[in-house]
Amino acid sequence: MKKKLIVANWKMNPTTLKQAEGIVKRYKDVSNLVVCPPFVFLNSIKLNKVQLGAQNCFWLNEGSFTGEVSPAMLKSIGCKYVILGHFERRSIFKEDNKTINLKVKACLKSNLNVILCISELKQLKKSLDGIERLNKVIIAYEPAWAIGTGKACSTSLAEKKRLLIKELFPSCRVLYGGSVNEDNYLDYNNFDGLLVGELSLKKEFNSIL
């Protein structure tokens, strides 16, 4: 059986490179961990077995797109994963399924593994429309109300959603995300792994690795 994939989503934290280095230093050096720091820290933090991921990406590789970062750029610095369609991207930055679909296609073309976040199942088909290399797509089920609230999804509801996602996309690994902590992470043992926000910045994170 494949090892569980643990994705650390730092969001817009921490404030300094020194702090970022400190967080990574604390992590167990395991190959099933993907750390996703802010773009500015991607190229500076030193990793051994732990893998590198980005939190977002544009859908073209170069050009006049001020402020954006491309799949080719991520690839060139050794990034293997990219989170796309996170709830915060959808709600704060108004990214829709069409945009996310363009990003998924572009990242797969650059051979990046995509961690596609959804909070509702209806986002799934449109975000993955026309995509063939589904073996490189990992779906993260993260109910909007569970993200950063301390109110994790019940095991039974999460399991129901996991099965529905597997029915639609059997070749994709499925992660759970939303208020995962050191006390509840085993509730999602049927999933292929976890997408972890707040806990991934704390020293207690090691206990789930």
Footprint on residues 149-208 left by ligand PGA (CB under 6 A): 177-180, 195-199
Please select the residue that binds ligand PGA; options are 24, 128, 147, 174, rule is CB under 6 A: 147
Nearer to ligand PGA, 72 or 155 (CB): 155
Query: Does residue 62 have an active-site annotation?
Result: no
**Of these residues, 68, 142, 167, 182, which one is catalytic?**
142
Q: Are 140 and 7 in contact (CB under 8 A)?
A: yes
Tell the smallest beta-carbon distance from residue 53 to ligand PGA (Å): 12
3-state percent helix, strand, coil for the chain, nearest multiple of 5: 40, 20, 45
Residue 90 vs 105, nearer CB to ligand PGA: 90
DSSP H stretches of helix in 56-96: 71-76, 87-92
- Residue 142 annotated in active site: yes
CA distances from 89 to 17, 26, 94, 154 (A): 23, 28, 7, 24
In whole angstroms, the minimum distance from the beta carbon of 37 to ligand PGA comes to: 13
> How many residues comprise the chain?
209
Q: What is the CA 131 to chain-centroid distance, rounded? A: 18
| Residues contributing to the site for ligand PGA (CB under 6 A) | 9, 142, 147-148, 177-180, 195-199
Residues serving a catalytic function are 86, 142
